[in-house]
Amino acid sequence: MLDRFRAADTQVLGVSIDSVHSHLNWGKDCGGVSFPLLADFEPKGQMASSYGHYLADAGITDRATVIIDMKGEIRYSVAVTPGGERNIEELAGECEKINAEQSGGALPTGSGVPAGTELYVKSNCGPSRRVLLALDNLGLTSSVTIKNVTEDAAAASALVQHGKDQAPCLVIDGAPLFESGDIVKTLVDRVAPV
């Protein structure tokens, strides 16, 4: 239902007190997660505490949903207990209701990516998968031409023309980036609110 949340100008984030490494493993077990996960790890539970959802005696967070509007105001905060389940349909409806009441329009975004931006990836490659998930999380999949060098010999040849036989490789504004961390940071910077 991410498309429905995006249509309501909503950025879905998952937050837990687990580490980044735990999030990576959880995401792999789920077959990939197409929204950002934030680690409320150190100091443990600080973010959850600020919203009243840290259960200090148990050392865990309550399973809760917090909706913050475009002005930074908490508009919805509901816990369903650590073992409870959320009703995603109701949450989408709540986001749509809040969005309809906003007078500021859509979420502000940065410049985005220019036409002609290309991403070279390899099959079964962790760093390539990381960048592909970031593209999806940021809503940029349709803005970037994706070329799989494992499956396409022409793409593999074109990749070498950018200086290395290494994927992932993002070619943006004519310049190649080869490290997944640098690629993700560049993409985030391109869509960050101005």
The 10s digit of each residue's pLDDT in 117-159 is 999 999 999 999 989 988 877 778 888 999 999 999 999 999 9
Distance CA 168, CA 127 (A): 7
Distance CA 113, CA 102 (A): 27
**What domains can be seen in the chain, in order of their start residue?**
2-101 (3.40.30.10), 118-191 (3.40.30.10)
pLDDT over 60 at 194, yes or no: no
Question: Quick one: tokens of 46?
Answer: 């600080």
- pLDDT tens profile 6-36: 888 888 888 999 888 888 888 778 777 777 8
Please state whether the predicted TM-score (pTM) of the whole model is above 0.85: no
Output phi, psi for 125, to 5 deg.
-120, 115
- The H or E element that residue 60 is part of is strand 60-61
